[in-house]
Amino acid sequence: MGAYILRRLLLMIPTIVGIMAISFAVVQFAPGGPVEQVISELTNAAGSDRLTGGGGDLLQGGGDEGGRYRGAQGLDPEFIAKLEKQFGFDKPPLERFLSMMWNYARFDFGESFFRNTSVVDLIIDKMPVSISLGLWILIFSYAISIPLGIRKAVTDGSTFDVWTSGIIIVGYAVPGFLFAILLIVVFAGGSFFDWFPLRGLVSDNFYELPWWQKILDYFWHMTLPLITLLLSAFATTTLLTKNSFIDEIKKQYVTTARAKGLSERRVLYGHVFRNAMLIVIAGFPGAFISAFFTGSLLIEYIFSLDGLGRLGYDAVVKRDYPIVFATLYIFSLMGLFVGLISDLIYTWVDPRIDFERRDV
């Protein structure tokens, strides 16, 4: 196992370099970079100044010096050169990429182009929202999915199984943002009740409250976002648990255990559970990361939660490349480690699995 782990760790290096290289190359051809963003703001401001009788020192008559950038005609080429140097675009792409990867290898992500603060500080500042959403969704979805999936497997084909399957499928098919809007309309001061807050993770006076009121205030704000995300989060795990248990129940060792006179509960939880839960437990690390960093962008916007999803989206729109590449690097690295952890959990749950005998 040690050799397998070492090989996987070594393979992470070219993998992460490849991911970053492809993303970096795509960005080079994407229009509307940070230089063009600043130019657009300046030209719009200059146009407003002319309408009000003002003038812009950055505008020079005619000229085609800024032809590389959309809307840059007429701007002082020295100013454009300063912008390129400010954003690091005065260097060749290969040199910029190698410098970025060297800094990222030391977890030095630099500063945001437009927020005047370090990328690490921004990510840390947004983490509480993402952790709040991801952690509770993971706990609640597994707490509901596993018992419900087991019950559905044991009562396969019954009225309970059919009705719960219908509810799960309908709930999974409804887009999360539509359900979020419905909850806001009904329970957050829309057309019916005003029971829950519309935005934010905590109230404005949160730090003035006693500790027990802080807990209540926190869950008061989290109720509607969690219900929205939970609607689809547990569907896949529930059906996966049910199908895994059904497959195991049909095997010969279950028939043998029953023939020995073991109780149904002993058969189910003493023999079937460990084998049936192999695929569910092994997928836990991936679900853990996925719950933190994916699927909540629209929910964050709808409920005004300032988390990592919203940070990444704003960075892409604004072309804030340090944030874009830093989050991509961190999430890709975590995804690679999660894949390795999933394999290790496989061997822990079922010692018969031996990755040493397989090619990576």
Q: What is the pLDDT of residues 33-85, one digit of tens each?
A: 777 777 776 666 555 555 455 555 555 544 444 456 655 555 667 777 777 77
Q: What is the pLDDT of residue 104?
A: 92
Judge residue 309's burial from the number of C-beta atoms within 10 Å of its C-beta, 0-12 exposed, 13-18 middle, 19 or more buried: buried
Ramachandran quadrant class, 103 (left: phi over 0; alpha: psi -120 to 50; beta: rest): alpha
Distance CA 188, CA 176 (A): 16
pLDDT at 358: 54
User: Considering the entire predicted model, what is its pTM?
Assistant: 0.72
Cβ atoms of 20 and 325 closer than 8 Å: yes
Domains of the chain plus CATH, in order, are 34-108 (no CATH), 120-357 (1.10.3720.10)
Give residue 4's pLDDT. 79
- pLDDT for 102 equals 93
Residue ranges of the chain with pLDDT lower than 70?
1, 31-32, 41-76, 190, 232, 282-296, 349-360
What angle do the packed helices 308-318 and 321-349 form, to 10 degrees? 140
**Which residues pair with residue 188 across a beta bridge?**
194
Question: For the segment 269-278, what is each residue's pLDDT rounded down to a tens digit?
Answer: 877 887 777 7
